[in-house]
Structure 1
């Protein structure tokens, strides 16, 4: 790996948004090794990118974010690979379930576990291997914001406490899985803002930002939709995006959003920016709830204590 100067690690990089982000990063930074992760890579995504670019700098590594033990195993094996410092950690993978309440093997609500807990733990475990000027980017969603969800008829994100999200009461939990997804996206932003504050307090040059890719027909988030909805999502809507954008401005292509995510991750223009929410390449405001420091602190403290294993949340920045 000595020929590469830095590492970019991107979760959920085998399809959709992550695939096109990895493609653009590998093209713009051929001296970076780009690690894409997923539970599997049945489509040989890393090989496809390397072939398309006539390069060899994209590598697939298996990672199951639904299992905290597997996240720990992934991190424990990281030093043995001798990769150069991580210049960009893109926490992009996500899951969306419209069915009944589910828990992972650790007993946590599954959407919250994958979209927040797995990523937060991954950051803390890999922090010693970050470049001093690394960028942390968390893929969020405009669905965290009631201003957007009320226009579309989707359930609002509701953040009470991290403990409630991790172990919701089945008797009172919202029956619609979409609310759990929207709330997990709010948690992504709350955690990003908390991380940015902690990094600033520690006088670290590492930055943390959230990213909104927009509504992207064809992405894997719809794999649990019903038959008709799934068919439209995968086989019809991706081909009429220009028409959809005329009616729904938040609609974007995976290719275009992938380019934007790559821009946030490695461009000179986005360097040094921290604690922001990028809608594409534009810094914009998030929901009122996302700026409540009490909620940010609750999520940060509970995550560090319960999942990471204690400490003040800053010791992870010490080099291995």
Structure 2
């Protein structure tokens, strides 16, 4: 049993996968202090009250965080740093969005899927890295949809110049909005893997810490809030029809199943030295061939530094490496 109190931050921990992950971590060890990072303070408060009731762990709180705003991310880190929390042990980058109705943009003008799913977590992780304990953990929620060889029903990612991903030119696109929106999503999930592998490598090369960084594929989880921009019919299928697939289709999981697997990447001691890896549930597997492209991941890191306006006071790395 871990006798030292430690903090775990979970983005988007107020519902779905994040909520289930928070519940499993809080139940696993009462010395874990779980912080739900959520943009809606009212929903976060409801989630915290529910989690405390379900886990009998009173060490659960929330802090407001809007991953679509660079200012909000910086405010979150500032507020977190001023509070009397136990040492930060783990950051679970779980929050994610997908839009198929129209192109959405963040408050800083980035295409929202890329801005929230990748860039927001990029800035958050870099700004918190100096506070994570010597043997802490970072887990990023990616998706098997990043792999074009898997039959997920999603379009293959399109990794191009990251500036073009952040500011897409749609005037020359022949894709319909639904396909385009889903491609934005799979591309952002590929970016999660590039970030995972590059961050793990930089920590290994430039620091003396044992902080681990891994990526997680929860599989398809029908019924979650990821379908918020779907048509009414598609929402019905997502919520009431597709959940039946969890009974017989590979890597289609309930939120509870995936939440437990995600939590284990934070709590299980067998992962103490595991870093730069990709997990499908609890199983370590290879990600797509494209995800191991070193040039792409370095290009993404450099562009992410520029887009997020990350400076040398906000990260433990050399910004212009």
Structure 1 length-normalised TM: 0.91
Q: Give 1:269 shift.
A: 1.4
Q: Give 1:4 shift.
A: 6.6
Is 37-46 or 203-212 further displaced after alignment?
Answer: 37-46
Match of 1:22 in 2: 22
Write out per-residue CA displacement over residues 40-93 of structure 1, whole angstroms, 9 at most, x where no aligned residue.
243711111111222201112221111111111111111221212211100000
CA distance in 1, matches of 2:100, 2:143: 16
Match of 1:177 in 2: 181
Residue-pair matches, total: 309
Matches within 5 A, 1:55-66: 55-66=57-68
Matched, 1:215 2:225: no
- Local SS of the residue matching 2:8: strand
CA distance in 2, matches of 1:97, 1:297: 27
Matches within 5 A, 1:15-54: 15-40=15-40, 41-42=42-43, 44-54=46-56
**Cα-Cα RMSD:** 1.9
Aligned residues of 1:304 and 1:311 also touching (Cα < 8 A): no
Matches within 5 A, 1:1-320: 5-40=5-40, 41-42=42-43, 44-148=46-150, 151-173=151-173, 174=175, 175=177, 176-202=180-206, 203-238=208-243, 240-243=244-247, 246=248, 248-311=249-312, 315=316
Unaligned runs of 5+ in 1: none
Q: Give 1:308 shift.
A: 4.0
CA distance in 1, matches of 2:303, 2:202: 15
CA distance in 1, matches of 2:313, 2:83: 28
Aligned residues of 2:129 and 2:315 also touching (Cα < 8 A): no
Is 178-187 or 58-67 further displaced after alignment?
Answer: 58-67
CA distance in 1, matches of 2:168, 2:246: 40
CA distance in 1, matches of 2:300, 2:163: 8
Aligned residues of 1:95 and 1:221 also touching (Cα < 8 A): yes
- Local SS of the residue matching 2:238: helix
Q: Give 1:312 shift.
A: 11
Is 295-304 or 138-147 further displaced after alignment?
Answer: 295-304
Structure 2 length-normalised TM: 0.91
Change in 2 beyond 3 A, CA 1:227/1:33: same
